[in-house]
Structure 1
C-alpha cells in the first residue's frame, strides 16, 4: 500500500513537470557550416539551374527538395534559368542516419511520515513528509536521427566552387521530409556567410508543425568535426 502511494506521488510530480514543459516554445536547432568564395556578383547574375546526379535525375524526392530550396533562394534574388543560360549550378546532397542515445535520469521515492500526521497544505510538496527524495538513477535509451543537407553552388562555365554549406540537426523524427524546411532555411540563413563560418541557427516550430517566420539569432558553434557538403557528379546532368 505504501509503495503504491509513493509511486503515485512520483507520477504526479512527473506529470506536473511535463505540463510545465508543454507551455514552452519549441525550436529546431541546426548546426550550419559554410565555405564561401562568393565575391560581389550583382543580382542580375544570380541565375541557376539544379545539377543532379544520375540517381537524383528521376527522383520525386529530389524535385520536392529542389522546390523548397528554390523558394528560399528566391529570397536572395536567385532566379531559375535554362541550363544553357544559368550562371550557376546548384547541387543538393541529403541524408538521414539513425542512432541510439542513452541518458541517465534521477529516480525519486517518497518515504512515509516519521513524526505523525502532517497538516500542511501539500503533503506531497518538497517540504511535506511525503515529498520526493532522490534515490538513484535510471538509464534509458531512445532513437535519435541526424538529418543532413548540403548545398553546393558552382559556376557553370568554369566549374569553380563558390559556395558550399552543410546544415545538420538531430531529433527523434525518422522523416527527412519534415526536417527539410528547417535545414533549407538554416543553410541559407544570412546568405552569403563568410568563409569557414560555423553557426547554430534556431527556428521556431509553429502550431502546424511547420517552420515559422521566427528565426533566433545565430550563435557561434564549435568548428571541430564540421563537414562540408559533398559535390555532385563531375559532369552533372542538368534539369531539362
Structure 2
C-alpha cells in the first residue's frame, strides 16, 4: 500500500515520539495490511518456501524463513518438500532509515531559587521564562515484511500480507519476530483488511533484544607457595544485532 508524503510524515512523527518515550514503551506496534482469497477449505496446510535463483544460498533469508515457519505452524501449516506442497510461501523484507527533526522546548531561569515572592508562588514576582525551542534530530527506522502465499499447482495468489512498523531499532533481525507474528496474527484476515497489532516487548517469538551475560567467575586464590595463578582473559566479543 502506498503512503503519500503527508501520511509518511505523520507516521515518522509518531515514530519519533516512540523513540523519545522508549524508556516507557512496553509494546511493539505494527500495522498489518492483507489481501485475501482464502476459502478455508484446505484440510491439510502443506507448504514450501519459494526462492528466486539468486536467493538459493541467502543466509539472511533462511533465518527469516525459520521465524515465519514458527508462526505458520501456529495456524496448522506444515512444511514439506516443494513437490509435495499445496502452497508456496515467498518472503519480501527490508529496512529504511530516515532522520526526523523535532522542535523541543527548553526552559531557562535566570534567577535560581530560593524565591520570596507572593505566598505559595515558587517563581516569585518574575515568573518562569517562556520556553525556547531547539531542533533535535533522531534516526527512525521503517521495518517491512511481506508474506505471499500462492497455490503451487495453479500459481494463484491466495494470501498477501504486509507488516510494517517504525521505531529506533536499527536491526531488521531484531525486528523480524515482531513483524512475523503481527503479519500472521488472526490468520486469515479478510480481503483489504488493515489493522494494528501490539506485541509486548520480549514476546515477539524470541527472547527480548537485551542479552544478559553471566557474571565472570571469581578468580581462584593463589596457593601460598608456587607460581601465581594466571587469570584467563574473558572473550572479547559483542552480541550481534
Q: How does 1:73-152 map to 2 (within 5 A)?
A: 73-112=72-111, 117=116, 128-129=122-123, 133-152=129-148
Q: CA 1:39–1:132 in structure 2 vs 1: closer, same or farther (change >3 Å)?
A: farther
Q: CA 1:160–1:116 in structure 2 vs 1: closer, same or farther (change >3 Å)?
A: closer
Aligned to 1:172: 168
**Residue deviations 1:180-236, cap 9 Å, x none?**
00000000000000000011111111395259xxxxxxxxxxxxxxxxxxxxxxxxx
The structure with the largest strand share of the pair is: 1
Aligned to 1:50: 49
| Large movers: runs of 4+ above 3 Å | 21-25, 113-121, 130-134
Q: CA 1:193–1:115 in structure 2 vs 1: closer, same or farther (change >3 Å)?
A: closer
Q: Does 1:37 align with 2:31?
A: no
Normalising to structure 1: TM-score of the pair? Answer: 0.69
For the residues of structure 2 that align with 1:139 and 1:79, how far apart are their CA atoms? Answer: 52
Give yes or no for contact 2:101–2:138 (8 Å, CA) kept in 1: yes
Residue 107 of structure 1 and its aligned partner are, at CA, apart by 1.1
Give yes or no for contact 2:141–2:168 (8 Å, CA) kept in 1: yes
Aligned to 1:161: 157
Q: CA 1:81–1:132 in structure 2 vs 1: closer, same or farther (change >3 Å)?
A: farther
- What value does the CA root-mean-square deviation take over the aligned residues? 2.8
Give yes or no for contact 1:104–1:140 (8 Å, CA) kept in 2: yes
Q: CA 1:111–1:159 in structure 2 vs 1: closer, same or farther (change >3 Å)?
A: same
Give yes or no for contact 1:92–1:152 (8 Å, CA) kept in 2: yes
Give yes or no for contact 1:112–1:129 (8 Å, CA) kept in 2: no
Normalising to structure 2: TM-score of the pair? Answer: 0.69
The secondary structure found in structure 2 opposite 1:31 is strand
* Alignment length (residue pairs): 185
Give yes or no for contact 2:115–2:123 (8 Å, CA) kept in 1: no
Q: CA 1:129–1:82 in structure 2 vs 1: closer, same or farther (change >3 Å)?
A: same
Give yes or no for contact 2:37–2:158 (8 Å, CA) kept in 1: yes
Q: Please, which moves more after superposition, 76-85 or 21-30?
A: 21-30
Give ranges in structure 1 of 5+ residues lacking alignment: 1-20, 122-126, 212-240
Give ranges in structure 2 of 5+ residues lacking alignment: 1-20, 211-241
Residue 23 of structure 1 and its aligned partner are, at CA, apart by 7.2
